[in-house]
Amino acid sequence: MSLLSAARAALRVYAAGAAVILAQLLRRCLGGFAEPAFPPQPERVALVTGGTDGIGYATAKRLARLGMTVIIAGNNKPRAHEAVKKIKQETLNNKVEFLYCDLASLRSIRQCVQTFKKKEMPLHVLVNNAGVMMVPQRNTVDGFEEHFGLNYLGHFLLTNLLLDTLKESGRPGRTARVVTVSSATHYVGKLDLDNLHGSRGYSPHAAYAQSKLALVLFSYHLQALLAAQGCPVTANVADPGVVDTDLYKHVFWGTRLVKKLFSWWLFKTPEEGSWTSVYAAVTPELEGVGGRYLYNEKETRSLEVTYNLKLQRQLWATSCQMTGVPDVTRDVFSR
């Protein structure tokens, strides 16, 4: 990628962020964000990736408050134990635990799923939340560009390995749910299937946006697969808005300064940022409904190309090759 293309990608990402910030500001001026109410969820089990911090922590806490058994899947043991302790104390729900899962390692994801399955627990909600943003060019353990490998492929594998448990746990009228956290940056993302490793030039902005676009395509194709198989599982995408979290630690210092000074005004709090994920995970309004892009707890349209079935299939097939997951969609959709 040339310097000019990298600069264009950065401008596009900043423009997408600025548009969301303006909308959030307008909403604050018009009365702010109202915390939605959700019904209690006893007997339900949720697994939240990246539940140690930011939006994931707020999501895990809210689900625990609703009475769910919550498993935080993360790669930082001390922070995870601290998060579990705090959530237990604050929600008085003792059914919160930690499962080690480094999403930057396919082996670790497989081990995590194995450990989870040994517990013989159901799984009603999977929240694919963890992520990194605009990190310098580096690779995951398996040699994938980090945004694509961790944000997207890690969740692709995790979801596929947990699908049988989700299918067994859902039932008609009370489906299991896969919630995948994307971002407004997907609107400016481009999927470059020939340069997924970033080897033909790297832009951290383009790489982040691409990973978030891939998650939307994946989620829609997953929903199509589940519907075609008649499974009691749905898949939706949650867009949290622009939220005051540590995700911004790798962005340009000027942006970090603006965030430090004005985030209280311009950004959502992590709790506000978690509402759409929690909405997707539990609201009765979405019972049996999948394949939606949700923003501010409402359905909205994602980038036009995300509805392109051919691209969804290509990405799914490539992801299967990269992660070693058998591609069942070929049989299902060729029937």
Ligand X SMILES: NC(=O)c1ccc[n+]([C@@H]2O[C@H](COP(=O)([O-])OP(=O)(O)OC[C@H]3O[C@@H](n4cnc5c(N)ncnc54)[C@H](OP(=O)(O)O)[C@@H]3O)[C@@H](O)[C@H]2O)c1
Task: Indicate which residues carry an active-site annotation.
Answer: 208
CB-nearer residue toward ligand X: 103 or 322 = 103
Q: Is 50 in the site for ligand X (CB under 6 A)?
A: yes
Please, what is the end-to-end C-alpha distance for the chain in angstroms? 40
Give least dist CB 111 to ligand X, A: 13
* Binding range to ligand X, per CB under 6 A, among 2-10, 98-106, 163-171, 318-326: 98-106
> Parallel, antiparallel, or unpaired for β 69-74 and 96-100?
parallel
CB 332 within 8 A of CB 115: no
Stretch that binds ligand X, among 71-79, 199-207, 312-320, 326-334 (CB under 6 A): 71-79
Q: Residue 133 in contact with residue 250, Cβ under 8 Å?
A: yes
| Residues in 174-213 at the binding interface with ligand X, rule: CB under 6 A | 181, 183
Q: How far is the CB of 205 from ligand X (least distance, A)?
A: 13
How far is the C-alpha of 186 from the C-alpha of 233, rounded, in Å? 24
Among 48, 150, 158, 224, binds ligand X (CB under 6 A): 150
**Nearest approach, Cβ of 332 to ligand X (angstroms)?**
28
Whether the Cβ atoms of residue 71 and residue 116 lie closer than 8 Å to each other:
yes
Pick the binder of ligand X from 214, 243, 294, 303 (CB under 6 A): 243
**Which residue, 179, 143, 141, 156, is CA-closest to 294?**
179
Query: Cβ(16)–Cβ(188) under 8 Å?
Result: yes
Distance (Å, whole) CA 309 – CA 220: 9
* Residue with Cβ nearer ligand X (131 or 198): 131
Rounded to 5 degrees, what are φ and ψ at 286? -105, 15
Nearest distance in Å: CB 194, ligand X: 24
Kindly give the interhelix angle for 77-91 and 54-65, rounded to the nearest 10 degrees: 40
245 near ligand X (CB under 6 A): yes
Contact between 240 and ligand X per CB under 6 A: yes
Is residue 95 near ligand X by the rule CB under 6 A?
no
Question: What's the closest the beta carbon of residue 4 comes to ligand X, in angstroms?
Answer: 26
Residue 219 in the binding site for ligand X (CB under 6 A): no
SS3 68: coil
For 211, how many CA atoms within 13 A lie in the half-sphere containing its CB?
29
Q: SS3 of 33, please? A: coil
Of 24, 52, 160, 234, the one binding ligand X (CB under 6 A) is 52
DSSP β-bridge partners for residue 180: 128, 237
Q: Does 103 bind ligand X (CB under 6 A)?
A: yes
What backbone torsions phi and psi does residue 232 show, to the nearest 5 degrees?
-80, 55
Minimum Å distance from CB 130 to ligand X? 3
Q: Do 148 and 72 form a contact (C-beta atoms < 8 A)? A: no
Please give the residues from 115 up to 134 whose contact with ligand X meets the rule CB under 6 A: 129-133
Under the binding rule (CB under 6 A), the answer on residue 109 touching ligand X is: no
What gap in Å lies between CA 195 and CA 201, rounded to an integer?
A: 9
Among 43, 246, 285, 287, binds ligand X (CB under 6 A): 246
Member of 60, 62, 70, 74 binding ligand X (CB under 6 A): 74
Q: By CB under 6 A, name the binding residues for ligand X.
A: 49-50, 52-56, 74-76, 79, 101-104, 129-133, 150, 181, 183, 240, 242-243, 245-247
